[in-house]
Structure 1
Amino acid sequence: MSERTTRIPAVEARGLTVAYGDALALSDVNVEAHQGRITVICGANGSGKSTLLKGLAGLETPTSGDILLSGQPLSELSRRDIARRVAVMSQSPEVPTGLTVEELVEQGRHPHRPWLGRISARDRSLIDSAIRRVDLHHLRQRELATLSGGERQRAWVAMALAQEPQLLFLDEPTSFLDIRHQAELLTLLRQLNRQEGLTIVAVLHDLNQVMDIADDVLLMCKGRVLATGTAQQVLTADLLEDAFGCKVDIVPHPRDGERGYCLIDWVGNTDATGTVRREA
């Protein structure tokens, strides 16, 4: 039996159903995200991506089903215990009035500090490191409200990093970022995963980014998981047509086909064309 099949998942949903009135956002979903890997949830708008992420992170009360964190039911853990192990970056976080970048990032240390305890030297070191890793050290005293959307996004990522989580949830973290900072953020996430073993579960809208960063992919469709597996297994023409309702051509990249690079060319309800570069 392989190591992967014997390891306890970092987070797991069993029979997860979320309903809003008569509308089912998720229906009997069973998924696992494995320790030390990057799992990406993707799918069309309204497919249940963000609801699944929030459910796995303990931010959405399920109508039925269970969520397990490293084998422990979330219902048996206190909010403080969860916050010490899990960090969440939501899709459109509210900007606190008057808060600076440094003050926001400092919030990530709260689960690890005694009640009303002062910031320790270690706390300060982790805050400084998080700010530098997202390239905001020159803006650390600026109020969040004065920053661009992309700069604010990076500040929220820094707060999550300061929390020292075992498991990081991100809901469309590259939203509002320009191309350079999208690439830098994805590179940072890969480094945190590969070098520090941080388990990451993210919702991504851009399939190019999914192909670039994901170890495992959960493809959603109408509140259910349509397919799971590696990007090469899940992001196929047939499955993407089922999930998005448009035809997709996937062919080897003309320059790097031998190395497993590929080009995604949309040919249905959209005229967008993107290039994906991922080593097999």
Structure 2
Amino acid sequence: MRLTVEDVRVGYEDKTIVHDLSMCIPDGKITTIIGSNGCGKSTLLKAMTRVIAPQAGQIMLDGKAIAQINTKELARQLAFLPQNPDSSGGLLVEELVSYGRFPYQKGFGNLSKKDKEIIQWALNVTQTEEFRDQSLDSLSGGQRQRVWIALSLVQDTDIIFLDEPTTYLDMAHQLEVLELLQKLNKEEGKTIIMVLHDLNQAARFSDFVIALSNGRLIQAGIPEEVITPEVLEEVFHIDAVIGKDPRTEKPMCITYNLLKGEKNHEKINIPNAYTTHPPLGSVFQQ
């Protein structure tokens, strides 16, 4: 495990958001953090990327606390795409993407041949090369998100953090972004750590899932161990029916009810109906 969280407590002023959390992030895999709004997902991501400092505990990268790693050196190892990236200020796509090479430059030096090759590679792999001379503001939401991912790739890090990379995107663009991240993981060996709200997307695209509730770790493991009625009840306070995605065999939340008072323990046995005959227009259609 290259990246570990050891007894970390994170908060703002007198309010603790993440409580004494410990976990290991699998190397070379896609890890997704799930949980309700305000449970500490984004705060944990910021602590793991040194955007904010823990109140206690430490984040370790290759056995060394990230607090002790030089800023430029850390930027060569970790890339972080926040939920709402700062405005591009009218920058052209290629200009914005080139900023990812800053950790490798001395002073305000010009881009080297290697820098330009990596920028071209990132534009190609994210399929944004055709936009290189356009303003970021002129692109669609899905196109802009791919450009921001290209910026992260240009940092040439082994580990990429993304906070809700599919926010505000329609279903097709969400799938486009997640398939890109999956491709980067499988073909480029990138370790991906992201926050997602959609449970079925988390199950479908993740090798490892971490479930948080009120800043505490509830369950961590492969999707089959985390996307379960019991875990979802504790994390989201819902009564969920879990089946299997007929295309991926990953767990899938078919339906759910809010829990009010005593839970109705009646089990609804309907997954086979969905896995055998998916309804037209369902989420199985692409």
TM-score greater than 0.5 by the shorter chain:
yes
Q: Secondary structure at the match of 1:182?
A: helix
2:255 to 240, 243, 266: 266
Q: Which amino acid aligns with 1:32?
A: C
- What CA distance in whole angstroms lies between the structure 1 residues aligned with 2:251 and 2:161? 27
Q: Quote the offset at 1:163 in angstroms.
A: 1.0
Contact residue 208 and residue 275 of structure 1 kept, 8 A: no
- What CA distance in whole angstroms lies between the structure 1 residues aligned with 2:282 and 2:78? 33
Q: Secondary structure at the match of 1:165?
A: coil
- What CA distance in whole angstroms lies between the structure 2 residues aligned with 1:198 and 1:252? 27
Q: Which amino acid aligns with 1:264?
A: C
- What CA distance in whole angstroms lies between the structure 1 residues aligned with 2:156 and 2:197? 26
Structure 2 residue 180 is matched with structure 1 residue 191 = no
Structure 2 residue 73 is matched with structure 1 residue 81 = yes
Q: Determine the structure 2 residue equivalent to 1:3.
A: none
- What CA distance in whole angstroms lies between the structure 1 residues aligned with 2:120 and 2:50? 28
Q: Determine the structure 2 residue equivalent to 1:70.
A: 62
Structure 2 residue 105 is matched with structure 1 residue 113 = yes
Q: Determine the structure 1 residue equivalent to 2:137.
A: 145
Map 1:172-211 → 2, pairs under 5 A: 172-211=164-203
Moved more, 261-270 or 81-90: 261-270
Q: Quote the offset at 1:275 in angstroms.
A: 4.9
Q: Percent identity?
A: 36
1:162 to 154, 170, 179: 154
CA root-mean-square deviation: 2.1
Which whole-Å deviations, capped at 9, do the CAs of 1:220-250 have from their partners, x for residues lacking one?
0001111111100011001101101111000
Q: Which amino acid aligns with 2:63?
A: G
Q: Determine the structure 1 residue equivalent to 2:30.
A: 38
Q: Determine the structure 2 residue equivalent to 1:10.
A: 2
Unaligned runs of 5+ in 1: 1-8
Q: Determine the structure 2 residue equivalent to 1:235.
A: 227
**C-alpha spacing 1:275/1:145, structure 2 compared with 1 (3 Å):** closer
Contact residue 224 and residue 251 of structure 2 kept, 8 A: no
Q: Secondary structure at the match of 1:247?
A: strand
Moved more, 113-122 or 163-172: 113-122
Structure 2 residue 82 is matched with structure 1 residue 90 = yes
Q: Which amino acid aligns with 1:34?
A: P
How many residue pairs end up in the alignment? Answer: 264
Unaligned runs of 5+ in 2: 260-280
- Computing the radius of gyration over CA atoms, which structure comes out larger, 1 or 2? 2
Q: Secondary structure at the match of 1:268?
A: strand
Q: Quote the offset at 1:178 in angstroms.
A: 2.7
Q: Determine the structure 1 residue equivalent to 2:209.
A: 217
Q: Determine the structure 1 residue equivalent to 2:45.
A: 53
Contact residue 207 and residue 222 of structure 2 kept, 8 A: yes
- What CA distance in whole angstroms lies between the structure 2 residues aligned with 1:161 and 1:32? 23
Moved more, 95-104 or 142-151: 142-151
Compute the TM-score of the two structures, normalised by the length of structure 1. 0.88
- What CA distance in whole angstroms lies between the structure 1 residues aligned with 2:14 and 2:284? 39
